Chains A and B, each alone.
Chain A
Amino acid sequence: MNVPTEHLLILAGILFSLGALGFLLRSNLIVILASVELMLNAANLTFLAGARSHSSVGPLNLDGPIFALFVILVAACEAALGLALVIAFYRQKQSVDIEAAAELKG
């Protein structure tokens, strides 16, 4: 694949901004979590783009893929915990809308 690294980074940037947009604009907790996953995925893409460009000259660089692996692991933990929180929240409020969580607003 002879695609310049910049294009990979642009793709990662677009995916990250879409995730950030969803995180900020939507009020459904599940969609918010999905947006976080989208952002983590974009971060992974950035790591791999970096590894790819750094390995093109010089010795093999595996730090990027390893970091991406750890990011995938943390994303799995985050999704499991977040969805457990969503379930606990739904049990209390019968809703997954963040507008329902307004007790601390004062």
Chain B
Amino acid sequence: MASLLFYALSAIAVLCALGVVISRNPMQSVLNLLGSFVAVAAIYLLAGFQFLAAAQILVYAGAIMVLFIFVVMLLNLTDREESQSVWMGLFNGRILGSLAVFAGLTVSGLIAANGNFAPVDTISHDGNLDNMTLLAEVLFSKYMLPFEAASLLLLATLVGVMLLAKRERNGERHGAQLSSQDGGSEA
């Protein structure tokens, strides 16, 4: 049953990834990407990595997807859609995306209904593999330095993104803008 679910989720993830590549509309690409992330998160859950699945949903399917969709909508890129064939319609993000969400919910429901959050036939030591206490112990002892470096990276990203995305004021130039403002006029 679990392996059947794995293959179904793999098929969804691969189809969604295909949709990312072949969709003409950026919005459909991004929605397909969301479907792929959710399917992969469900695979994590099946494999017994609960915390990774949660992080995948929160960071990938939550934060990163919101950023992508926000930018696509901000730049108003969802236009010029020619008539699609039936097969292209499969990849417009709606069918596959909702399928992925449904499958993810099914997996978490099955695991929750099992009573324990460790899937039955994963690696069973004294605890399960993705015991969050164990993960935290390793993260805050062996990987303390990378953890701090990661926080520094986040801070640097925060500053860099604000600098890059800041609107240019009159007469005030920032180092990020290299070419002149009328660079787009030449075809």
- Which residues of A come within 8 Å of B, CB atoms? 1-3, 7-8, 11, 14-15, 18-19, 21-22, 25-26, 28, 30-31, 33-35, 37-38, 41, 44-45, 48, 51-52, 55-56, 60, 62-63, 65-66, 68-70, 72-77, 79-81, 83-88, 90-96, 100, 103
Contacts and interface: CB of A to CB of B under 8 A. Distances in A.
Contact of B157 (A18, A41, A80): A80
Interface in B6-20: 6-7, 10, 13-14, 17-18, 20
A42 B33 CA distance: 12
Contacts, number: 192
Contact of B184 (A65, A66, A88, A93): A93
A43 to B, nearest CB: 11
A3 B6 contact: yes
B130 A65 contact: yes
B59 A76 contact: yes
B121 A2 contact: yes
Contacts of A11: 10, 13-14, 43
B30 A30 contact: yes
A21 B12 CA distance: 18
B61 to A, nearest CB: 11
Contact of B49 (A35, A48, A63, A93): A48
A62 B60 contact: no
A86 B77 CA distance: 12
Contacts of B88: none
